[in-house]
Amino acid sequence: MRQGDATYSTRARRQRKSAKPSKRSRLSIPNWISYGATALFALVLCLTVNLRSFTELNHEAEQHESLNQEIEKLTSENLNLQEEIYYLQNDSSVIEREAKKFGFQRKEKKVSVPTDK
């Protein structure tokens, strides 16, 4: 026997059981719950950020597609206008047609015929 364990009886000591459970045992939460809550929070945070990024990406893609269509339309219109400018500068029939739209008419050349009298 040890010196600090002096007893008056020879029977083994038993631990006393208290009527109330201790605070620690009452409020004891398993460790996996706190880890799970942290992991769930991180997952929700990542999903929120990714969903926002995905939505912005889709909006940007739609905007890119509409701008590309507008560029194609304007390029086609530009080529048509360049072709029309070329014909207006070089083709006399097109020049006459456009002049008639504005009310101009071609003057007929008067050819003087010499008369021998």
Quick check: 74 pLDDT over 90? yes
* Residue 111 confidence (pLDDT): 66
Nearest to 69 by CA among 57, 80, 61: 61
* Residue 62 confidence (pLDDT): 97
Sign of the four-CA dihedral 78, 98, 101, 104: positive
List phi, psi (to 5°) of 11. Answer: -80, 155
Q: What is the largest CA-CA distance in the chain?
A: 175
How many whole angstroms separate alpha carbon 100 and alpha carbon 93? Answer: 11
Per-residue pLDDT tens over the stretch 79-109: 999 999 999 899 888 888 888 888 888 777 6
Quick check: 67 pLDDT over 90? yes
Query: What are the start-end ranges of the H helices in the chain?
Result: 23-26, 31-90, 92-101
* Residue 49 confidence (pLDDT): 94
* Residue 1 confidence (pLDDT): 52
* Residue 102 confidence (pLDDT): 87
Per-residue pLDDT tens over the stretch 27-58: 788 888 999 999 999 999 999 999 999 999 99
- pLDDT average, residue stretch 53-75: 97
Decide which of 102 and 5 is more confident.
102
Quick check: 5 pLDDT over 90? no
How many whole angstroms separate alpha carbon 117 and alpha carbon 113? Answer: 12
